Chains A and B, each alone.
Chain A
């Protein structure tokens, strides 16, 4: 065989392979269904039950504040002799004292904590709403995740750092607050929720990246994310305003 001839065949095959390899604008199927069926297909309709989400979130958050059994449960949950003593020693440390007594530093930490919460939770909620199928349904999950997740992770890093400093400044008060314990438990549950999501259904994302409705487990992860993080915010605020 003539090698030059083979090279030409190879060049032509490569050129042909890319010749018709065009992709339409995103959402062609949606536009076709919308135009042809004369309505949004059932899969793309705004789910009515989605209105229940804010109601659930508010109810859950209020429940934490007003239900005495929940507070009592978290007040008695930990052994005061061990962790309490450790918190007392931490509060007596020079670092804790310096943070507590430096007004300017404290305000910066508190402000940074709140700012980072917004940076973290705004995109996280957007991603949760995409998983549920309420917002950004015109974009693949991977695209939404790529857009929002790095911001959430950055925000989370700052939240943890500033939160740790805030805790160090007043560890005993934090420890004694049932809302702080609720908040920590909720953050743990949120972490577990993310871990379960990323290690199960998210591993098969290629199968449902562009389909609607999203799989049930993805929607459950999204709803749980919304509920838990909202409750974390409420618990954090209750904690701040009930410090004795």
Chain B
């Protein structure tokens, strides 16, 4: 859990109201409507847990509203992706050891079992989840609303070339593992 509370307190509310104006609120409301699903998916890519991802959406927009970023951000998609990503990674680092993502709970089938059951999507999801973080995270982000390598690089704070290399490496590993699985069971 990060330092930003889930719900706004009276003091927070008063602080917010100082900057409140109908135009600003209207712009903010419009932004929330347009981008909340995108922010949710960025957070979900990192956390793989819907409740946590929703919390990150709340925190991202709260942070945006409290700062003046809404007036000065150049690329709202990149800004929101970066903020959501950092909050998600922050949350993940604090929760993953204790509770390693409920959606990934060990109750699901292993990649081999899923492949045998001919559910290749589940098998691939399991294989992605099994990738090391430095490969899995850019790959997961690349699946969100067609994020480009540049946007992923901005969100993760790494070089664009590094993102491309990691994406290629991740796909390579997935192919190798899938080949092994397919050798054991034809779809």
Contact = CB atoms under 8 A, between A and B. Distances in A.
Contacts of A41: 25, 29
B120 A32 contact: no
Contacts of B50: 22, 24-25
A38 B37 contact: no
Q: Is chain B's binding surface mostly helix, strand, loop or mixed?
A: helix
Contacts of B53: 22, 24
A38 B144 contact: no
A5 B171 CA distance: 12
A180 B12 CA distance: 61
Given A32-B61, A35-B62, A37-B16, A16 B178 contact: no
A15 B126 CA distance: 10
B1 interface: no
Contacts of B139: 16
Contact of A8 (B8, B33, B45, B178): B178
B32 A29 contact: yes
A160 B53 CA distance: 51
B83 interface: no
B13 A38 contact: yes
B72 interface: no
A38 B187 CA distance: 52
Contacts of A35: 6-8, 58, 62
A243 interface: no
Contacts of B143: 16-17, 19-21
Contacts of A18: 121, 125
Nearest to A16: B143
Nearest to A41: B29
A38 B8 CA distance: 6
Contacts of A15: 120-121, 123-125, 127-128
B125 A20 contact: no
B155 to A, nearest CB: 13
Given A16-B124, A32-B57, A38-B13, A24 B40 contact: yes
A38 B17 contact: yes
Contacts of A28: 36-37, 40, 54, 57
Q: Is chain A's binding surface mostly helix, strand, loop or mixed?
A: helix
Interface residues of A, number: 30
A20 B49 CA distance: 11
Contacts of A14: 120-121, 124
Contacts of B85: none
Contacts of A32: 32, 36, 57-58, 61
A35 to B, nearest CB: 5
B84 to A, nearest CB: 12
Interface string B32-62: 1100110011001100001001100110011
A67 interface: no
B140 interface: yes
27 contacts: A8-B175, A12-B178, A14-B121, A15-B128, A18-B121, A19-B45, A19-B124, A19-B140, A19-B143, A20-B41, A20-B44, A21-B143, A22-B40, A22-B50, A24-B37, A24-B40, A25-B50, A31-B58, A32-B61, A35-B6, A35-B8, A36-B32, A36-B62, A36-B65, A38-B13, A41-B29, A43-B29
Interface of A: 4-5, 8-9, 11-12, 14-25, 28-29, 31-33, 35-38, 41, 43, 211
Interface of B: 6-8, 12-13, 16-17, 25, 28-29, 32-33, 36-37, 40-41, 44-45, 50, 53-54, 57-58, 61-62, 65, 120-121, 123-125, 127-128, 139-140, 142-144, 171, 174-175, 178-179, 182, 187
